[in-house]
């Protein structure tokens, strides 16, 4: 995905969806996962046409929703449409159970 995003440079898309596999299966992988989300966002946003939509997801159980959204949004002028997690029919009883996270945003 990292290399593929480089090959798409210069082509504007109305919608870009980034849904990588889990980057942090253990606590010692969290910092690397957050860097990977930041890098993917940096590579993907230039591909989104002005007024287009950007979707970024995470299924890393060790990365908290707050840390994920901060890594993706930090310093970026995005219009957040919605932040989502698990559906109501997927109850979560422990912090690592909140592994599904998704940001829907518009690029101005």
- 102 included as an active-site residue: no
Which residues are registered as beta bridge partners of 82? 104
Nearest CA to 98 out of 90, 56, 33, 18 is that of: 90
Measured from the Cβ of residue 57, the count of other Cβ atoms closer than 10 Å reads 17
Give all strands of the β-sheet with 101-106 in edge-to-edge order: 13-18, 48-58, 101-106, 79-84
Select which of 59, 61, 98, 100 is catalytic.
59
Distance CA 90, CA 106 (A): 27
> What is the DSSP secondary structure assignment for residue 17, as one 8-state letter?
E
Catalytic residues: 59
């Amino acid at each position: 995905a990292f290399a593929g995003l480089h090959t798409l440079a210069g082509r504007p898309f109305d919608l870009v969806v980034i849904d990588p596999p889990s980057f942090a299966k253990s606590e010692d992988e969290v910092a690397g996962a957050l860097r990977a989300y930041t890098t993917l966002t940096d590579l993907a946003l230039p591909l989104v046409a002005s007024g287009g939509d950007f979707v970024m997801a995470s299924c890393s159980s060790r990365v908290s929703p707050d840390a994920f959204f901060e890594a993706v949004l930090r310093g970026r002028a995005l219009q957040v449409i919605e932040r989502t997690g698990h559906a109501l029919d997927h109850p979560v009883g422990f912090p690592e159970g909140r592994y599904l996270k998704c940001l829907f945003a518009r690029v101005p």
